[in-house]
A = this chain, B = another copy of it.
Amino acid sequence: MAARDYGEYGGVTRALELIGERWALLIVRDLLVGPRRYGELAAGLPRIPSNVLAARLKELQAAGVLRRAPRSRVIVYELTPYGHELEPVVLALGAWGFKALDDPRDEQVITPDSMTMDLRSAFRAGIAAELPATAYAARVGEAELLIRVDGRTLDVSRGDGPADLAFAAGPGIRRVISGELAADRAIATGVVEVLHGRGALLDRFATTFHLAA
């Protein structure tokens, strides 16, 4: 049942034995956004073979990282408290990997859950606390998110809703977050399209969410 081990006794080694297998940490990432059904997980990990997903769910359950939500009519997977403690790991990893992103290839997909976690990685609570509460509606690829920033708290949820600024963007939004592309130039060049609201708020967005390369 225990994953193939490394023959070493230590914290990192143990962690990798529990969540180091291929796909495992991506499942954790999506569950950090919220409980998910089997099919939702499969949809959020487009290339995962169904047998691998089933195997990982079992292993992660045995490892105490996730569980099937009790007293729920349908089967729903959720993180255990211990699994939830992986949040700092996933955020740090996401921040690190974000800096290595180049422009996306055509076959690459952006899912709502992955984008949610990227936004959490890039969120600067200290900066946001100085700014007025703001709601953004963002459409990037297939992901449609409502992003609410209020003081030091960030809430990202799927779907649409009332927002101070609604915008659509290609994945070039990355360059806005990395600071390579100024907000006003992103709008001017069409990388970001303002759907409604004051376009000037995109600059606030870029200030709130920032990961320098």
Copies of this chain in its oligomeric complex: 2
- Complex Cα gap A88–B88 (Å): 9
Inter-subunit contact B100/A89 (CB<8 Å): no
**B residues in contact with A95, CB < 8 Å:** 11
**B residues in contact with A14, CB < 8 Å:** 97-98, 100-101
- Complex Cα gap A14–B171 (Å): 14
The one of B11, B20, B110 in contact with A98, judged by C-beta atoms closer than 8 angstroms, is B11
Question: What is the chain B residue whose CB lies nearest that of A111?
Answer: B8
Using known A-B contacts A12-B26, A16-B25, A117-B12, determine if residue A46 contacts B7 with beta carbons closer than 8 Å. yes
**B residues in contact with A111, CB < 8 Å:** 8, 10
Judge if A92 is at the interface, Cβ distance under 8 Å.
Answer: yes
Per-position contact with B for A1-32: 1 when CB-CB < 8 Å, else 0?
00001111111111111101011011001000
Judge if A86 is at the interface, Cβ distance under 8 Å.
Answer: yes
- Complex Cα gap A8–B100 (Å): 14
Question: What is the chain B residue whose CB lies nearest that of A105?
Answer: B9
**B residues in contact with A22, CB < 8 Å:** 20
- Complex Cα gap A117–B5 (Å): 19
